[in-house]
Amino acid sequence: MEQLNGLLSEDALRKAYALGADFGIRLLAALAIFIIGRWVARRLAALVEKGMQRAGTDKMLIGFVRNLTYMGLLTFVILAAVGQLGVQTTSFIAVLGAAGFAIGLALQGSLGNFASGVLIMIFRPFKSGDFVEAGGTMGIVEAIQIFTTTLRTGDNKTIIVPNGQITSGTITNYSAKDTRRVDLVIGVSYNDDLDKVRRVIEEVIAADGRVLGEPEPTIGVLELADSSVNFAVRPWVKSADYWPVYFGLMESFKKRFDQEGITIPFPQQDVYMHQVSA
């Protein structure tokens, strides 16, 4: 009996030793997978960062993509290390998938804004400092973030626009080009000499040094309106000079027309009174 007990205990020790040795090997392999995998994840994330820096990508997007790449690779490494220990990872993957699906539904709008923010940073329809019209708002771009874009209006209001609203509509970037055309409509009386009006307009434009010589300004009769002859006046200026030139020319036209006796018509209404005898 004692001999049988000794054999059983010896066999149990051998099995325990074998199991311990097998688990130790698995543990060492899991640690090796984790350590080497984490190093590879860091290296790949660093390579992604360098590639995006060379491409001139926005710094905020670079940091986000680098962290996202590293966390995704690290999650894969952890699952591989846990699987090496003999743990079934199928249930973990299913739980992660279900959690990701639930989070995606809950944050559907935010994820849409996030995707739009990534597109804005990649394709760069505008940059900080540009004057744009986007998302139903017009202003100077102050900050482009992952979920929103901050604009400053002409009266110094700060407006935060969701990126999804920007990319779902038309974007007009007034600062994308170095030059802009100033579109003016100048009305004069039907009694005025049109050749004289054209000459005065040309002289006023030529006197403003901010107006560019190329392309040449366009001056022509736009329409014969109800009470005026309307001239289309379209000089080209630097984008930064658009509004100063716009306001300056309008004032100069009025002053010069007054000096030259050119009439700027305005709506009038004649009232006739008829006296009826009793």
How crowded is residue 201: how many other Cβ atoms within 10 Å of its Cβ?
A: 24
Own/partner contacts of 7-16, CB < 8 Å, gap of 24 or more, are: none
First to last CA, the chain: 149
Instruction: Note if the pTM is more than 0.85.
Output: no
- CATH tag for 2-106 (out of 3.40.50.720, 1.10.287.1260, 3.30.930.10, 1.20.1540.10): 1.10.287.1260
State residue 105's pLDDT score.
Answer: 53
Q: Is the pLDDT confidence value at 137 over 60?
A: yes
To the nearest whole percent, how much of the chain has pLDDT over 70? 78
Q: How far is CA 162 from CA 146, 171, 173, 214, in A?
A: 9, 14, 17, 39
Bond preceding residue 267 cis, omega within 30 of 0: no
At 220 the three-state DSSP class reads: strand
**Do 178 and 215 meet the contact criterion of CB atoms below 8 Å apart?**
no
d(CA 238, CA 209): 11
At 76, is the pLDDT very low, low, confident or very high (cuts 50, 70, 90)?
Answer: confident
- So what CATH class is 179-260? alpha beta
Query: Sign (positive/negative) of CA torsion 133, 139, 145, 147?
Result: negative
Instruction: List, by residue range, all CATH 2.30.30.60 domains of the chain.
Output: 124-173
Instruction: List, by residue range, all CATH 3.30.70.100 domains of the chain.
Output: 179-260
pLDDT digits (tens, 9 = 90+) for 182-212: 999 999 999 999 999 999 999 999 999 999 9
pLDDT digits (tens, 9 = 90+) for 51-74: 877 877 666 667 767 777 888 888
pLDDT digits (tens, 9 = 90+) for 118-130: 788 778 888 888 9
CATH architecture of the domain 124-173 equals: Roll (2.30)
Who contacts 199 (Cβ-Cβ below 8 Å, separation ≥6)?
none
